[in-house]
Each structure stands twice: as C-alpha cells, then as structure tokens.
Chains A and B, each alone.
Chain A
Amino acid sequence: MRCIIAAAPIAAVLLSLPAAAQQAGNPAAMAPGTAQTSPGTPAPHEMNQQDRLFIELATAGGLAEVDFGTLVGKKAGSNAVKGFAARMVEDHAKANQKLEALAKAGQVPQPKDLDAEHKDLRGQLDKASGADFERLYILGQIRDHQKTAQLLEWEIGSGQDPALKDFAMETLPTVLDHLRAAQGIASQLTGQASLATAAPVSGAATPKP
C-alpha cells in the first residue's frame, strides 16, 4: 500500500469540506489491494480508478476555466461576459486549489497544461474578436460546464475517496449555477429564448433576460 502522510496545509483544506460521504459506493468496484479501515471502508485518500481519472479530467477543466477567463478579462467587450469570466476565474481558482490538495493527498499527478481539446479552443479564441469571440467563449463554457456537471455526478456515484467525493458534491451546485448563467448570457448574445431550466441563477453575474 502507498503510505500517505498528509502535510499540515493539506489537512487544513480537507477539514473545511463537509463530511457527507463517509460511505463507499458499491464495493464491487473497489480496486484490489485497497487499504481499508474496516471492511468496505477505504482508508483515507485511497483512490480508485475513477477518483484518479476524475482528478485528471477535473484538473484539465479547471485549468482551462482560469486560462480562458483571464483571456476574456482582456478581450471581451460586454459587461455580462466580463462579469461571468471574472466569476469563473475566482470560483475555479478556488476549486483548483482544493483539488490540488486532494490530488497531493492521494499522490495522483495532475496535468499542468491545457489538454488538446482546450488548446484547440484557446487557439480559436486567440484569433477571434468582438461578438464572435464572446459567442465562441460562452458556447464553449456551456459545453464545458455540461461536461463538468456530468463528471462531478459520475465521481459522486463511482468515486471512492470520501474527501474527493465531498469535493465533487460541494462543487456541483456551483457548476450548475455557472451553466445556467452561461446559458442566460448565450440567450442574450444570440437573442434566443432562454436555454436554462426553471430554477433561476443566483449570484451577481446573472444577466436580466
């Protein structure tokens, strides 16, 4: 078994999370050789395949959010898009920090750069300007937040490490809020009817439909 000694600052971040997910999911999906505190309860920071993949994909998504958001701060014209992007930088930077602590605790390496998909989009964003730029960014945001919501739900159901699952649970409402905010802005930009669900968005960046 990997021996894990959590460094003090990491422990502090982890303690601030809600302890909602003490129970493992279906033990049939546990990795062979998982250290357990009692049968079926994995030792802290014992991660399964899903946890590890989650860290990788969520890190890639989080990096892109901050990277694109910062770019928007420099390039966008409208306040709605700028406000949204600022919120993305702030919220995702916070989440990225928490995720980093968890990845360290589980000794899972994190990607350092944008993945191919987001590099591609970044290239397009660099070249675009004006209304094209804003649309490209916002439609990309809708898709990314849809995928992230799916990813978080998947981790909540299939993950193993309680701290990581708690992170996913804590992050999901915010991501859904971001999604609805992006949908609201998209309908503003495109002049279309709202794409969002009945539940309105909370937070300052909410555009008035």
Chain B
Amino acid sequence: MSGFLKRLPMAAGVAMLFSVGATADPLPPDATYRPLPTLPFSTVKAADEAQKAQVLQRQQTLLTERYDTADHPIPNVMMSGGRKPVQAGVRVKLPAGVTWDSLAALSPDQIRERDLLPAGFMPLPHVKQPTGGQVFPNQQIEQMRTLESRNLQRFDVDFDLQDRFTPEFPPPIFLTTHPELGDVSRGQVLSIRNFYETMNGIITPVQMEGLRLLLTPFPQEEFNQTEDRKSAEPSMGVACLDCHANFHTNAAFHLTPDVRPQSARFRLDTTSLRGLFNQQIHGSKRSLRSVEDFTEFEQRTAYFNGDHVSATRKGVNLPDRPNQVAMMAQMQNIIDFPPAPKLDPMGRLDPSKATEQELAGERVFMGKGRCAECHTPQTAFMDNNMHDLKLERFYKIGKTVNDLVMLPDGPIKTFTLRGIKDSPPYLHDGRLMTLADTVEFFNLVLGVKLTQEEKDALVAYMLTL
C-alpha cells in the first residue's frame, strides 16, 4: 500500500503528505501506555525514600514562592461544621513592581510579554509529576490507620499543602432526604467500620449497600499488592471516600488520569460530591454524563492513572452496573449542599437576612463581575457547561515547573459555588488558596476591572452561598 502510494506521481502534494503520515513512525512505544517497573520493589523503595526529603523540599520551595501561607483567618467565619476558620486575603504573591490594580490595567499581551502573571495563577504541579498518583492528607491517613488499620501513606511523597488551606475534617454530611436532621456525620469520618451504625435508620437498604461499596477499599495504582506500588506493605487499596471524605473532599489530589497521556497530565484536587444530584456533567475535563458512568470509571481506570492495561494486573474491581454501580450512585445522589440560610429558593440573597456588603457583592456577581453568566444562581451556581478561560493569553506556554509542563488548560467545567467556603483549595488543580484569590484570578481573566470595595463585597457574598 505505502509502496504503491510512493510510486504515484507528485500531483497533489498535500494529499501525499497525509498518506505518508498514516505509515509514519509513531512516537516512543511508552508515550501512551505506562511502562512497567524495571527494578525490584526493594530497590525502588530505597531510592524513593532516599529522595523523599528533597522531593518535598522542592515542592515547599515552589509553594512559598507562590503563596503567602500565613495563618490569617477571616474573623468569625467558620466552615459549615463550625470547627475550621476560613482563611482571609489574597495569598497569591505578586511579581515585583506591580499591584493588583496595575496588573489588571495591563492587557493580556502585555502581561505575557513582560512575564507578569503571578506564578500562583499558573497550573500547580503534583509533588512528583513523573510518578503522579493519589496523595492523601495526613488526617485521612491517621484516621484510616486508627479505624481500619489501613495504610494510606506513600514512601515517595507526602501531602504538600498546609492544613489551613484544606477543608474542615471530618466534613459535615447533609442529606437531601433529611433536611430536618442537619449534619448526620456525628463528627466522625465515615469508614467501613462505623458506617452502618451511623446511617442505620437514616438511609434505605439500597443506599446502605451503595455506601458500603463506596467505603470498601479496592486496588489502586499506588496502593495494591504488586511491586508496582508506592505503599510500604502490600496494600488493601483505596476507598472512594478516602478522597471524598464524608462525601465532601479532604483535598486529596491526583494526576488527571485519562484526559492526556502521562507526560502532560495535570494535578486534580478532589471535588466535593455535595449537590451531585444537580450536575449534568462530571469531571473537570471528562464531561461524563452520569454519576453512574463516573462511579464505574473511577475504579476501572481513574484509580490506575488512566491505564486500563496496568489496572488488570493489579486486580481492578469492575463494579456491576445494574446493581452495584446503581446503588453507589443512589447513595451519592442524596448528598446535599450545606444549608445557605440567606438564599431564597431561586438562589438569590434574601434582603431581609443579608448585609449591605453581601448584597453589594451579589450585584457585582450578577452585573459588572459577570460571574453569574457561568455560575447561574438558579442552577446551583453552575451552567452545566465547560468553558475555556484561555489563561494562556497571559503566559508563554511550554515552560516546565517542577517537571510539569505549563500547557493551556482548555475547557474546564464550571464548578458550583454552593458551599464554596468549605472547599479550599480552589480551581481544578487547587492552585488558589482563598476565595479572595479566586476574585483576583477572575478579575484578570475576565478583564472586569473591579475596585477593592467590589472585590471585598464579592468575597463576603461567596461566604453566604
């Protein structure tokens, strides 16, 4: 076939080019599929352990260069469980010589050419980009060690963000089926050991079975029994709620498993499962169309960093769609947002309950700030769409930071803003630490030139949602 094409006269050069393309050499054989380990487990473990301090130090250096990580809580503002303060202020550091206002006055081209985009607005690398995989915060690791004698610690990396920039732990649980009960978590983190007694009488048999499955550990890329793992002992695996703790999030993170091949994958901050019942698309980039699809695929490929081939040799769990998946979905679908007493049924502030500043914030949100064009109050502050914010207008692409290549994010799903004060860090990769950071981010990205007063009002407003 190719020989025949090559002998054709050079009539249509362009067509010829494509015919050659089809027979051309591909990229390296492991550009798409993950290579298997080449060294024995003990050697890999020793090497990883020897490097761990250096790996963590490098990440800490990046974080302190990007963010002000000091403890400045907003006075009298707690997350929904009432136990953890919400952090105040813009934490992304500015490059020398600019202010937020002078930056916002520049065009995207000027910011790019002068290299002025604050580094904290850029994609956030995983602690160890080439290895990637799931990383759990220490509180989760400790809880699972105590409750289940299950070890979620990795020997190559640790969780990198400070505790003050992660959600309240354990997060409260609100059910759509029992608004009258409020938080049903009893202040504990759900585990396979305590879920039955906690939820007995509150949920249905089908939901209970779904919950059991969501709490049952199954093999995962870094936590399994083969030599291709990052847990010291052969591991029992990972449960869904190890990341979606109490159906919210504990800020565990991952490299996006299956939207790009290994070398270009990006960090993903665990999303909350609150309000899942209202979402039409799932995942920041995957846009799966049902909770069932997402549930099925989490264990099938996401657990294995997107490589279903690698999954098979580690004992992947393929939950049965009509039975198990449906029950897991039914459980997830009754998780509600935290109550927002100042919102009316249409998601608008009730003027008799809101402060002047909060109402001013809503006006900015609906008007000059343009936020509501995507975060529509009536549909739980989403639009069930993905949008390309085109951040690459502001920076030169292709630079590598801690082994992550800075590439355009492309379209990302609009996240809900209901209960938003409960789920730092923000954006799909957790690159922003506070709500004030998100306001500066969108002020720049949307070019809306908000005043300081308007920015403060927006933050005050988002705290009510």
List chain A positions with a Cβ less than 8 A from chain B: 20-32, 36, 38-41, 50, 53-54, 57, 115-117, 120-121, 124, 127-128, 132-133, 135-136, 139-140, 143, 147, 149-151, 153-154, 156-158, 169, 172-177, 197-200, 202
Q: Given B10, B44, B129, B396, which contacts A128 in the complex, CB threshold below 8 Å?
A: B10
For residue A47, give the distance in angstroms from its CB to the closest CB of chain B.
14
> Are B51 and A198 in touch, CB under 8 angstroms?
no
Q: Is B346 an interface residue (CB 8 A)?
A: no
Q: How far is the CA of A191 from the CA of B113 in the complex (A)?
A: 28
Q: Is B186 an interface residue (CB 8 A)?
A: no
> Are A124 and B28 in touch, CB under 8 angstroms?
no
**A interface footprint on B25-49 (CB within 8 Å = 1, 0 otherwise):** 1011011000101110001101111
Q: How far is the CA of A50 from the CA of B28 in the complex (A)?
A: 8
> Are B10 and A172 in touch, CB under 8 angstroms?
no
- With a cutoff of 8 Å between Cβ atoms, the chain A residues found around residue B109 in the complex are 200
> Are A121 and B20 in touch, CB under 8 angstroms?
yes
Q: Given A124, A151, A153, which contacts B17 in the complex, CB threshold below 8 Å?
A: A124
CB within 8 Å for A23 and B55 given contacts A136-B13, A139-B14: yes
Residue contacts A-B, CB under 8 angstroms, 15 given: A22-B54, A25-B131, A26-B130, A27-B39, A28-B39, A29-B37, A29-B38, A40-B50, A143-B17, A149-B398, A150-B27, A156-B400, A172-B405, A197-B408, A199-B395
Determine the residue in chain A with the shortest Cβ distance to B25. A117
Interface residues of chain A: helix, strand, loop or mixed (majority): helix
For residue A205, give the distance in angstroms from its CB to the closest CB of chain B.
16
> Are A29 and B403 in touch, CB under 8 angstroms?
no
> Are A40 and B131 in touch, CB under 8 angstroms?
no
- With a cutoff of 8 Å between Cβ atoms, the chain A residues found around residue B47 in the complex are 24, 27, 30, 36, 39-40
> Are A121 and B17 in touch, CB under 8 angstroms?
yes
- With a cutoff of 8 Å between Cβ atoms, the chain A residues found around residue B403 in the complex are 21, 23, 25, 156-157
- With a cutoff of 8 Å between Cβ atoms, the chain B residues found around residue A29 in the complex are 35, 37-38
CB within 8 Å for A147 and B27 given contacts A157-B403, A176-B397, A198-B392: yes
Q: Given A40, A151, A154, A199, which contacts B392 in the complex, CB threshold below 8 Å?
A: A199
Q: How far is the CA of A132 from the CA of B113 in the complex (A)?
A: 35
Across the A-B interface, the 4 shortest Cβ-Cβ residue pairs = A40-B47, A25-B130, A173-B398, A157-B263
Q: How far is the CA of A120 from the CA of B54 in the complex (A)?
A: 47
Determine the residue in chain B with the shortest Cβ distance to A132. B13
List chain B positions with a Cβ less than 8 A from chain A: 6, 10, 13-14, 16-17, 20-21, 24-25, 27-28, 30-31, 35, 37-39, 43-44, 46-51, 54-55, 58, 109, 112-113, 128-131, 228, 262-264, 388, 390, 392-393, 395-400, 403, 405, 408
- With a cutoff of 8 Å between Cβ atoms, the chain A residues found around residue B393 in the complex are 198-199
For residue A42, give the distance in angstroms from its CB to the closest CB of chain B.
10
Q: Given B20, B128, B131, which contacts A120 in the complex, CB threshold below 8 Å?
A: B20
For residue A88, give the distance in angstroms from its CB to the closest CB of chain B.
17
Determine the residue in chain A with the shortest Cβ distance to B27. A150
Q: How far is the CA of A157 from the CA of B395 in the complex (A)?
A: 22
> Are B397 and A199 in touch, CB under 8 angstroms?
yes
> Are B54 and A154 in touch, CB under 8 angstroms?
no
Q: Given A40, A54, A136, A156, which contacts B405 in the complex, CB threshold below 8 Å?
A: A156
> Are A154 and B28 in touch, CB under 8 angstroms?
yes
For residue B160, give the distance in angstroms from its CB to the closest CB of chain A.
15
- With a cutoff of 8 Å between Cβ atoms, the chain A residues found around residue B50 in the complex are 38-41
Q: Given B6, B20, B46, B397, which contacts A39 in the complex, CB threshold below 8 Å?
A: B46
- With a cutoff of 8 Å between Cβ atoms, the chain A residues found around residue B400 in the complex are 20, 156, 169, 172
Q: How far is the CA of A149 from the CA of B30 in the complex (A)?
A: 15
Q: How far is the CA of A202 from the CA of B403 in the complex (A)?
A: 24
CB within 8 Å for A57 and B28 given contacts A173-B396, A199-B392: yes
Q: How far is the CA of A143 from the CA of B129 in the complex (A)?
A: 27
> Are B263 and A117 in touch, CB under 8 angstroms?
no
CB within 8 Å for A30 and B392 given contacts A23-B55, A157-B129: no
For residue B267, give the distance in angstroms from its CB to the closest CB of chain A.
14
- With a cutoff of 8 Å between Cβ atoms, the chain B residues found around residue A151 in the complex are 27-28, 31
- With a cutoff of 8 Å between Cβ atoms, the chain A residues found around residue B46 in the complex are 39-40
- With a cutoff of 8 Å between Cβ atoms, the chain B residues found around residue A157 in the complex are 129-130, 262-264, 403
CB within 8 Å for A128 and B263 given contacts A30-B47, A39-B47, A41-B51: no
> Are B397 and A139 in touch, CB under 8 angstroms?
no
Determine the residue in chain A with the shortest Cβ distance to B388. A198
Of A23, A50, A176, A177, chain B has the most CB atoms within 10 Å of the CB of A23
**New A-B pairs, 10, CB < 8 Å, besides A157-B130, A176-B398:** A25-B130, A26-B128, A30-B39, A147-B27, A156-B400, A157-B263, A158-B130, A158-B262, A174-B398, A199-B393
Determine the residue in chain A with the shortest Cβ distance to B50. A39
- With a cutoff of 8 Å between Cβ atoms, the chain A residues found around residue B131 in the complex are 25-26, 28
Q: Given A27, A38, A50, which contacts B48 in the complex, CB threshold below 8 Å?
A: A27
